[in-house]
């Protein structure tokens, strides 16, 4: 974990409520796709945890949805303004456990961390299939960005007005060796039931500190309680105990 000041390079709307922000600064604390950062915002007591979409030696990209005061404040910020970030947080995806054909399943704002993962897998010579799930056509984002990486991309929408009607589990390819997923917990539970291979799940969770001190985001696993912020947000399929 490292505390750094980042400068906003751009902050643009992708949909009515989803924004993409590019930040310039020190990214040396990041080592894997799927890690997150914690943002300090003026007037708010708790930092806001947001997954990292992509990063390089010069900066990083986050994609966030406006759902409360913190993200609303973020959406009103402009290039040149600065943010105080805790970087390199969490346990990201482990691509070493993947076979030759990886399946990526993302729902809504669970899509962004899969972009950096997709980049990494393709750089490692893997074949990548991506299924992106949204409620409506108007909510779809990053479809073309995944295609530009060289992935085979399928989009599902609940209303069926774009792509395949239904959920990500309605568009699973016939063959894949391993899967990675991120999204709301009902989607993750459905993915667990629908997949026959091993895989890794990235959980969305409310957090207090973001680095394992407060124990506020603990979840039960086969080996005992784990903290989503510190031991996760990525957990392996075989260790997860789903609550009924």
Write the CA distances from 235 to 187, 210, 220, integer angstroms: 15, 16, 11
Class of domain 95-239: alpha beta
CA gap 205, 164 in Å, rounded: 28
CA gap 129, 172 in Å, rounded: 9
Which has the closest alpha carbon to 102: 162, 157, 134, 146? Answer: 146
Tell me, what's the pLDDT at 232? 65
Residue 211's pLDDT band (cuts 50, 70, 90): low
Per the DSSP assignment, residues forming a β-bridge with 97 are none
CA gap 13, 105 in Å, rounded: 23
Instruction: Please state the domain extents for the chain.
Output: 2-89, 95-239
Write the CA distances from 181 to 73, 188, 205, 237, integer angstroms: 28, 7, 15, 10
Tell me, what's the pLDDT at 215? 61
End-to-end CA distance of the chain: 34
Q: Which of 56-60, 148-152, 220-224 has the lowest mean pLDDT?
A: 220-224
CB 74 within 8 A of CB 99: no
Alpha helices in the chain, H assignment, sequence order: 69-75, 112-123, 143-149, 185-194
CA 36 vs. chain centroid, Å, equals 8
Q: What six digits make up the tokens of 217?
A: 């985001």
Residue 230's pLDDT band (cuts 50, 70, 90): confident
Tell me, what's the pLDDT at 226? 79
> Residue 101 in 3-state DSSP?
strand
CATH number belonging to domain 2-89: 2.40.30.10
Tell me, what's the pLDDT at 39? 95
What mean pLDDT value characterizes the chain? 93
CA gap 183, 112 in Å, rounded: 10
Model pLDDT for residues 153-209, shown as the tens digit of each residue: 999 999 999 999 999 999 999 999 999 999 998 999 999 999 989 999 998 766 566
209-218: Cβ within 8 A, 24+ apart: 210/36, 210/38, 210/47, 210/49, 210/86, 210/89, 211/1, 211/38, 211/86, 211/89
CB 73 within 8 A of CB 64: no
């Amino acid at each position: 974990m490292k505390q750094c000041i980042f400068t906003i390079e751009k902050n643009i709307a992708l949909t009515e409520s989803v924004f993409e922000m590019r930040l310039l600064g020190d990214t040396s604390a990041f080592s894997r796709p799927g890690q997150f950062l914690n943002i300090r915002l003026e007037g708010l007591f708790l930092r806001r945890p947001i997954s990292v979409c992509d990063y390089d030696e010069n900066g990083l990209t986050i994609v966030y949805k406006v759902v409360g005061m913190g993200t609303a404040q973020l959406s009103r910020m402009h290039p040149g303004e600065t943010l105080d970030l805790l970087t390199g947080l969490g346990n990201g995806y482990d691509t070493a456990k993947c076979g030759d054909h990886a399946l990526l399943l993302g729902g809504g704002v669970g899509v962004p961390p899969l972009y950096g993962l997709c980049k990494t897998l393709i750089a490692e010579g893997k074949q990548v299939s991506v299924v992106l799930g949204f409620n409506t056509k108007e909510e779809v984002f990053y479809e073309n960005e995944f295609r530009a990486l060289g992935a085979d991309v399928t989009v599902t929408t609940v209303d069926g007005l774009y792509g395949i009607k239904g959920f990500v589990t309605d568009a699973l390819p016939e063959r894949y060796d391993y899967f990675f997923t991120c999204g709301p917990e009902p989607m993750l539970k459905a993915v667990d039931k629908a997949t026959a291979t091993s895989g890794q799940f990235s959980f969305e969770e409310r957090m207090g500190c973001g680095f394992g001190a407060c124990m506020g985001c603990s979840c039960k696993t086969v080996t005992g309680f784990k903290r989503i912020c510190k031991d996760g947000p990525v957990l392996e399929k075989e260790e997860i105990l789903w609550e009924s």
